[in-house]
Amino acid sequence: MSGNGNAAVTAEENSPKMRVIRVGTRKSQLARIQTDSVVATLKALHPDLQFEIIAMSTTGDKILDTALSKIGEKSLFTKELEHALERNEVDLVVHSLKDLPTVLPPGFTIGAICKRENPHDAVVFHPKFVGKTLETLPEKSVVGTSSLRRAAQLQRKFPHLEFRSIRGNLNTRLRKLDEQQEFSAIILATAGLQRMGWHNRVGQILRPEECMYAVGQGALGVEVRAKDQAILDLVGVLHDPETLLRCIAERAFLRHLEGGCSVPVAVHTAMKDGQLYLTGGVWSLDGSDSIQDTMQATIHVPAQHEDGPEDDPQLVGITARNIPRGPQLAAQNLGISLANLLLSKGAKNILDVARQLNDAH
Give catalytic residues, as residue numbers. 99
Q: What is the DSSP string of 6-18?
A: HHHHHHHHHSPPP
CA distance 33 to 289: 38
Among candidates 291, 298, 276, which has minimal Cα distance to 340?
A: 291
On whether the CB atoms of residues 119 and 243 are closer than 8 A, the answer is no
Structural Rg of the chain based on CA atoms: 22
What residue type is 128 in one-letter code? K
Among residues 205, 239, 202, 224, the alpha carbon closest in space to that of 320 is found at 239
Q: What is the largest distance, in Å, between two alpha-carbon atoms of the chain?
A: 84
Distance CA 361, CA 352 (A): 15
Q: How far apart are CA 109 and CA 53, in angstroms?
A: 20
Whether the CB-CB separation of 245 and 299 falls below 8 Å is answered with yes
Count CA atoms within 13 Å of residue 161 on its CB side. Answer: 26
Q: How many residues does the chain have?
A: 361
Instruction: Report the C-alpha gap between 184 and 129 in whole angstroms.
Output: 7
